[in-house]
Amino acid sequence: MKTGIAHLPLHSGKAPSWLFQRMKRLAREIIIAIVSEYGPQEIPKRLSDPFWFQALGCVLGFDWHSSGVTTTTCGALKEGIKGLEKELGLFIAGAFGYHLKEESLFRTGFLPPLKNARILYVGNSSLEGAVRLLLNEELLSKSVSIARTAQVLELSQNPEFENIFIRVMHF
């Protein structure tokens, strides 16, 4: 068995602006192609495969080890599909940035640089959404329909996930 030390510096997950603009455009086209060919249900399957996701980050052009690829790739995907969510039947949501300082969201590349940005932290938006859903019969009916067709992807059932997760989490 070979042993040794590898120096893998941590990166902020912030791509240069010129690169991120290209990443967004390419991410948009990749998502459109996958949805056109296989349907929106294919996107979570692919994104939950750690090998595919890492490869996507590299294809998009962000191949600085693995320490910034998740944030940057997710940002490129989110920004890339903006405006196409309804057409694609695909929405990206999450509250990752809720506890981060505003400047950290921009510095890390989680949010693209915006002039005069106004950020409103909404707290527990899932709870607020649940309340609104229960008060709107049409939305409730649509949600029940979506829930019946949704597929759960349990990463813990993927035999490689734990090994990959542990390997990339070493700082």
pLDDT means per 10 residues in the chain (171 residues)? 60 74 92 88 83 87 69 84 76 54 64 58 69 88 88 75 66 40
Six-digit token string for 65: 């080890």
What's the pLDDT score for residue 1?
60
> Domain for residue 4, yes or no?
no
Q: Using alpha carbons only, what angle is made at residue 95 by residues 89 and 97, rounded to the nearest 5 degrees?
A: 125
Q: Quick one: pLDDT at residue 29? A: 93
Structural domain includes residue 103: yes
Is 8 domain-assigned? no
Question: Domain containing 147: what range?
Answer: 17-168
- For residue 63, tell me if it sits in a domain: yes
Q: Is residue 123 part of a domain?
A: yes
pTM passes above 0.75: no
Give the span between the Cα atoms of 110 and 68, in whole angstroms.
Answer: 10
- Report how many domains make up the chain: 1
